[in-house]
Amino acid sequence: MVEEKTAGEVMEEYRDENKIYCLEGDRGLKALNNICQSLGYREQIYRQGSALEEFLRDNSDCCEKIIEWITEQMEDNEEWKQSLSFDDDEEPEVEEKITVKENEEDK
């Protein structure tokens, strides 16, 4: 049951189930995006290559700190804790975003 788990245990389980082991570069952005989607946030307008995206990509410690902050907030937010929790027989519900870059030769 979720109430019995600490926020740290819930986040650790979420990261293990979603294979979030490395937060460097694009992996960190994808992991942070997936966590936010699991919390219920949806993209409205996304501009690839934004200054914030480049900053987070170059500074993986920032992604880790944001995840730590989310974990701390889950102590008092049962809805977030529930959003990142799932039963052992349940698959995580994360939308996969696929970015396709155009090949210069195809233009």
Domain annotation covers residue 75: yes
Domain annotation covers residue 37: yes
Average pLDDT of the residues in 72-94: 77
Domain annotation covers residue 46: yes
The domain tally of the chain equals: 1
Instruction: Quickly tell me which residue has 């959003």 as its tokens.
Output: 83
- As a whole number of angstroms, the distance between CA 61 and CA 87 comes to 30
- pLDDT on residue 87: 59
Q: What is the DSSP letter of 56?
A: H
Q: Tell me the whole-structure pTM to 2 decimals.
A: 0.73
Q: What range does the domain containing 42 cover?
A: 2-85
- pLDDT on residue 49: 79
Quote the percentage of the chain above a pLDDT of 90. 54
Could you read off the pLDDT of 8-33 as tens digits, one per residue? 999 999 999 999 999 999 999 899 98
Q: What is the DSSP letter of 22?
A: -
Alpha-carbon dihedral of residues 34, 22, 18, 69, nearest 10 degrees? -50
Helix (H) or strand (E) holding 91: none
Instruction: Quickly tell me which residue has 């082991």 as its tokens.
Output: 21
- As a whole number of angstroms, the distance between CA 28 and CA 15 comes to 12
- As a whole number of angstroms, the distance between CA 2 and CA 81 comes to 7
Confidence of residue 100 (pLDDT cuts 50, 70, 90): very low
